[in-house]
Amino acid sequence: MQLGEVIFGGVGSGLYGMLMFVIVAVFVAGLMVGRTPEYLGKKIEAREIKLAMLYVLIFPLLILYFSAWSAVVPYGLSSLNNSGPHGLSEILYAYSSAAGNNGSAFAGLNANTSWWNVSMGLAMLAGRFLMIVPVMAIAGSLVGKKAVPPSLGTFPTNGPLFVALLVGVVLIVGALTFFPALALGPIVEHFLAQAGKVF
């Protein structure tokens, strides 16, 4: 869920999320090999990259902002039945699910308070509609461009090399964005569980 529903389950939003990562991967490939960033015969320029990065940043900012806020205020912590890393895991999962429009939470979190209802509702609303704005702006920008025929400088986007690059971009962006929070929550909880401490 924290990757923007691009791996499992996201049919509509997962498709346009993956297309945003494709644009970022095309740009990264162009930087690495010095070729022109193009996708589907359209040149990918600075405007499209800025909008794609805005899309990539909205989702983690929603999750991490609301998670951090809920982890430090008494009205956020009062709904937790578990403390420590498991409590942080519950908070992270709740906002990841809300921003991904799934709406589920761990059983140890009482999400039926004013704070949790409002904040998760805002995360859900922004996770659905705020992310569509850069996607629609990119679509409008690409529609207005003329298609150019592939040349020697065009990086091919239909082979296994590009697929590997795309998977790498998705995983690296996800890892760099969420690893610190996951290291404090689920990863610490995993090692504590192996040591015999449960929450």
**Cβ neighbourhood burial of 37 (10 Å; 0-12, 13-18, 19+):** buried
- 153-170 in b/e form (b: 16+ CB < 10 A) is ebbebeeeebeebbeebb
Q: What is the pLDDT of residue 10?
A: 61
* Long-range Cβ pairs for the range 182-187 (8 Å, 24+): 182/92, 184/85, 184/88, 185/85, 185/86, 185/88, 185/89, 185/91, 185/92, 186/85, 186/89, 186/92
User: What averages of pLDDT result for each successive group of 10 residues across the chain (199 residues)?
Assistant: 69 77 88 79 87 90 93 89 84 88 79 90 90 91 85 78 89 86 85 84
Q: What is the pLDDT of residue 74?
A: 92
Q: What is the pLDDT of residue 197?
A: 83
Indicate the residue type of 18: M
Collapsed DSSP state (helix, strand, coil) of residue 130 = helix
Distance CA 9, CA 105 (A): 17
**Do 55 and 18 contact (CB within 8 A), yes or no?**
no
Q: What is the pLDDT of residue 11?
A: 64
Q: Please report, for the chain, the start and end positions of each structural domain, with discontinuous segments joined by +.
A: 12-194
Q: What is the pLDDT of residue 9?
A: 60
> Which residues, 6+ apart, have CB-to-CB distance to 10 below 8 Å?
4, 17, 100
Q: What is the pLDDT of residue 136?
A: 92
